[in-house]
Amino acid sequence: MADSQTLVTRLKERFADTLTRCTTELGEVTLEVPPADITTVCMALKNEAALGFEVLIDCCGVDYSAYGMTEWETESTTDTGFSRGVHQAGLSEILTNSKDPEKPRFAVVYHLLSLANNHRLRVRSYPESNEFPIIDSVHDVWSGVNWFEREAFDLFGIIFEGHPDLRRILSDYGFIGHPFRKDYPLSGHVEMRYDAEKGRVIYQPVSIEPRVLVPRVIRHDHRYESGQSGEESSNA
């Protein structure tokens, strides 16, 4: 992989009046740009020889509303494993206590590859509205982004203005909500089952109770290594 610092220098010079910031962490370069400039920047990244990012590897959405928070931020353990999560935080609490409450909730991230210059780049842009996140589609730059943008729309509810066929791609017909948003329950809102009387599959409110799962702790113990119980071991 070519020197990342060379790429950072090129990006800062080329997009000095556009970029929000350009950083390098763990050898990976991230370019952040305002949503209004995403199409112009991406067109330049692809078509200018000094940059040459002709390949879009991936495009995805991110929900930062619970960034830096976890229900498992605890050192408490028991004989049977970790104790339950600290608490089940609601969305309003998550938004209030996130590490950077001023940061926009949603982001669109593009992963690019330049075969000619042997560079990889992450481009990130934050739609301005948390209630109705919208950003221009880059379909005219990389046509292969079509399904990626549909996936981000389906799972995060991010609108890609100018997309030729923006509709759900993974969820069921008539699905309500966006399952990758942090405020969407893990068990969902509805479940489906076969109804013998009606002779068809029906939808009904989900019957699974919301819960915080308890991770299993694997302990290194002679009982597990030998396959014997503690009582058998003591009698041996």
Q: Where are the domains of the chain?
A: 4-64+104-175
Give the confidence band of 236 by pLDDT, cuts at 50, 70, 90: very low
Provide the token pair at 228. 């014997």
For the chain, the residue count is 236
Contact predicate 125/107, CB 8 Å: yes
Model pLDDT, residue 189:
86
Q: pLDDT digit string (tens) for 196-231?
A: 999 999 989 988 776 655 555 555 666 656 555 444
Model pLDDT, residue 232:
47
Helix (H) or strand (E) segment spanning residue 41: helix 38-47
| Average predicted confidence (pLDDT) for the chain | 83
Mean pLDDT of 157-179: 93
Model pLDDT, residue 124:
97
> 180: which DSSP letter?
T
Residues 148 and 142: their CA atoms lie apart, in Å, by 11
Model pLDDT, residue 108:
98
Give the confidence band of 234 by pLDDT, cuts at 50, 70, 90: very low
Please check whether the domain covering 4-64+104-175 is classified as CATH 3.30.460.80. yes
Mean pLDDT of 7-17: 93
Residues 34 and 21: their CA atoms lie apart, in Å, by 10
Q: Is the pLDDT of residue 174 over 90?
A: no
